[in-house]
C-alpha cells in the first residue's frame, strides 16, 4: 500500500481547490490535485512508511523515532 505526503504549504491550499468530476466520481484526492494543475511526485522507499492522519498517529511516530535514536 502506498502513502501520500504533502508539504505544509500545499495542505493550506488544498481545501481551496475546487472539487473535480473525476475526484468526485473516483473519490481520490490525488485526482483533485492533478486536475487542478498541481504536480505530484512519487518516491520509492525501501522501508516501512507510517501514515500520520490523527494526533494519535503523531504520538506513534514520535515513539518510533525515539526507539531509533
Mean pLDDT for 45-59 is 83
Mean pLDDT for 17-25 is 93
Is the pTM above the cut of 0.75?
Answer: no
Distances (CA, A) of 34 to 4, 15, 17, 28, 39: 13, 14, 11, 10, 6
Residue 27's φ and ψ, nearest 5 degrees, are 55, 50
Instruction: Give me the residue spans of the domains in the chain.
Output: 8-68
Residue among 59, 42, 39 nearest 50 (CA)? 59
Predicted pLDDT at 68 = 84
What does the block give as the cell for 55? Answer: 494526533
Predicted pLDDT at 11 = 87
Amino acid at each position: 500500500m502506498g502513502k501520500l505526503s504533502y508539504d505544509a504549504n500545499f495542505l493550506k491550499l488544498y481545501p481551496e481547490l475546487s472539487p473535480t468530476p473525476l475526484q468526485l466520481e473516483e473519490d481520490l484526492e490525488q485526482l483533485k490535485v492533478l486536475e487542478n494543475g498541481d504536480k505530484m511526485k512519487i518516491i520509492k522507499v525501501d522501508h516501512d512508511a507510517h501514515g500520520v492522519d490523527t494526533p494519535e498517529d503523531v504520538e506513534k511516530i514520535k515513539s518510533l523515532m525515539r526507539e531509533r535514536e
